[in-house]
């Protein structure tokens, strides 16, 4: 039996410039991604795994440093009995002679597949590995269509970084065509959410979630493979989860009521996770939801929260329109009200009223 770990989309070096969380948390996450990856490498060594498969986007081309690469190599060199197989993805492509992968001399157990379809033969474990590294930022052609298995008696594994869900600019993969090729296991990368496409074709997902769009369980795939059997499972491995929470507000709630509801809901959750709390529903128009105040009150319960206020104040629109028939408030309501079914219009209407009313008072 051949043991393997399948990972990818690690994005080492990621700077999180567009992330909703601030610079301090971004730095923390940047380090945590490395730490988690080193732990994956260590696990491969501890469990005497034969193959560590990395399906692209190991690092961020723009932000990786030579120091980071040396550290990666140092980690790989500690598990010399594990073969580390890497393909480059769209975030770490091998473009011409310029590639961060060529900046250092990799340990003997590290194999970086080149940008033409390549087959690596490992006689000692009876495994042939096929793969292809990216050589540009976008690939529109299905470059995997022509791969053919050469020796059916071997354990045949394919590493691919691409999109099996749709005809995209990120190496579209034809699922049916892929199934017919008869690989014993296909280790996919590119999509950050883990997904078993077939029993023997899977996206491992990113080991650490990168933002709130990745609010599922993240980890690695571990497997045992022979010519006739495959046993694989997803193993959660992330240090933190991004959790999105919806809280229903009604017009009878005060700020303290709302905080109580959130705290109550957070009680079953982990301190170290990141929470996006979305407040929805109708709020009392006289209550000001001070987001920073609520955030401060949650600090002792969880390490990170962000709060999005999507509530609408319970203005009596008819009353307001009548009272303001001759001024800009009335005209504004009249103009906006026609599209009140549209979420964005409604939000704009209520925010506009709030702004105009506060002007009036002042
Ligand atoms: Mn990726």
Summarised one tens digit per residue, pLDDT across range 167-180 is: 899 999 999 999 99
pLDDT value of residue 17: 85
Taking the C-alpha atoms of residue 1 and residue 51, their distance in angstroms, rounded to an integer, is: 12
How far apart are the CA of 82 and the centre of ligand 1, in A?
24
Taking the C-alpha atoms of residue 148 and residue 130, their distance in angstroms, rounded to an integer, is: 9
How far apart are the CA of 286 and the centre of ligand 1, in A?
46
pLDDT value of residue 196: 98
Write down the mean pLDDT value for the chain. 93
How far apart are the CA of 269 and the centre of ligand 1, in A?
28
Contact criterion met (CB below 8 Å) for 43 and 123: no
How far apart are the CA of 270 and the centre of ligand 1, in A?
26
pTM for the complete prediction? 0.90
Domains and CATH numbers, the chain: 2-236 (3.60.21.10), 242-361 (no CATH)
How far apart are the CA of 14 and the centre of ligand 1, in A?
11
What's 124's DSSP letter?
G
Least confident residue range of 56-70, 92-106, 189-203, 235-249: 92-106
Model pLDDT for residues 220-239, shown as the tens digit of each residue? 999 999 988 999 999 999 99
- Number of neighbouring beta carbons within 10 Å of residue 176: 6
How far apart are the CA of 306 and the centre of ligand 1, in A?
25
How far apart are the CA of 162 and the centre of ligand 1, in A?
9
How far apart are the CA of 190 and the centre of ligand 1, in A?
5
- Beta strands 274-283; 201-203: pairing state: unpaired
Residue 216 or residue 89, greater confidence = 89
- Is the pLDDT at 4 greater than 70, yes or no? yes
- Number of neighbouring beta carbons within 10 Å of residue 67: 8
- Is the pLDDT at 340 greater than 80, yes or no? no
How far apart are the CA of 314 and the centre of ligand 1, in A?
43
How far apart are the CA of 121 and the centre of ligand 1, in A?
27
Contact criterion met (CB below 8 Å) for 153 and 119: no
How far apart are the CA of 189 and the centre of ligand 1, in A?
7
How far apart are the CA of 204 and the centre of ligand 1, in A?
11
Model pLDDT for residues 10-67, shown as the tens digit of each residue? 999 999 988 888 888 899 999 999 999 999 999 999 999 999 999 999 999 999 999 9
pLDDT value of residue 67: 96
How far apart are the CA of 57 and the centre of ligand 1, in A?
5
pLDDT value of residue 361: 58
How far apart are the CA of 206 and the centre of ligand 1, in A?
7
Contact criterion met (CB below 8 Å) for 72 and 107: no
Taking the C-alpha atoms of residue 65 and residue 203, their distance in angstroms, rounded to an integer, is: 27
Residue 20 or residue 263, greater confidence = 263
Model pLDDT for residues 117-176, shown as the tens digit of each residue? 999 999 999 999 999 999 988 999 898 988 999 999 999 999 999 999 998 999 999 999
């Amino acid at each position: 039996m051949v043991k393997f770990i399948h990972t990818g989309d690690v994005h080492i070096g990621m700077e999180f410039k567009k992330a909703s969380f601030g610079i301090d948390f971004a730095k923390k996450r940047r380090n945590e991604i490395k730490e988690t990856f080193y732990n994956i490498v260590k696990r491969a060594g501890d469990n005497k795994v034969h193959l560590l498969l990395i399906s692209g986007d190991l690092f961020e081309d723009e932000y990786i440093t030579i120091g980071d690469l040396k550290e990666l190599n140092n980690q790989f060199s500690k598990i010399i009995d594990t073969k580390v197989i890497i393909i480059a993805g769209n975030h770490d492509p091998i473009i011409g002679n310029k590639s961060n992968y060529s900046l250092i001399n990799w340990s003997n157990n590290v194999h970086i597949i080149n940008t033409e379809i390549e087959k690596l033969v490992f006689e000692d474990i009876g495994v042939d590995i096929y793969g292809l590294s990216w050589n540009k930022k976008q690939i529109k052609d299905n470059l995997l269509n022509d791969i053919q298995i050469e020796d059916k008696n071997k354990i045949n594994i394919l590493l691919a970084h691409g999109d099996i869900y749709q005809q995209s600019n990120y190496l579209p993969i034809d699922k049916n065509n892929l199934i017919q090729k008869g690989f014993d296991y296909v280790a996919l990368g590119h999509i950050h959410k883990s997904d078993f496409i077939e029993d023997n074709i899977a996206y491992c997902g990113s080991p650490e979630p990168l933002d709130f769009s990745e609010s599922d369980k993240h980890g690695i795939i571990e497997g045992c493979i022979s010519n006739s059997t495959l046993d694989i499972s997803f193993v959660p491995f992330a240090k933190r989860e991004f959790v999105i929470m919806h809280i229903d507000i009604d017009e009878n709630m005060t700020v303290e009521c709302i905080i109580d509801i959130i705290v109550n809901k957070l009680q079953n959750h982990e301190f170290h996770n990141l929470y996006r709390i979305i407040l929805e529903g109708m709020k009392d128009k006289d209550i000001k939801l001070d987001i920073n105040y609520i955030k401060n009150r949650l600090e002792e319960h969880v390490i990170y929260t962000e709060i999005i206020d999507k509530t609408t104040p319970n203005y009596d629109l008819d009353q307001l329109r009548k009272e303001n028939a001759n001024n800009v408030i009335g005209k504004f309501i009249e103009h906006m009200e026609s599209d009140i079914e549209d979420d964005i219009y409604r939000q704009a209407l209520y925010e506009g009223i709030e702004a105009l009313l506060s002007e009036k008072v002042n």
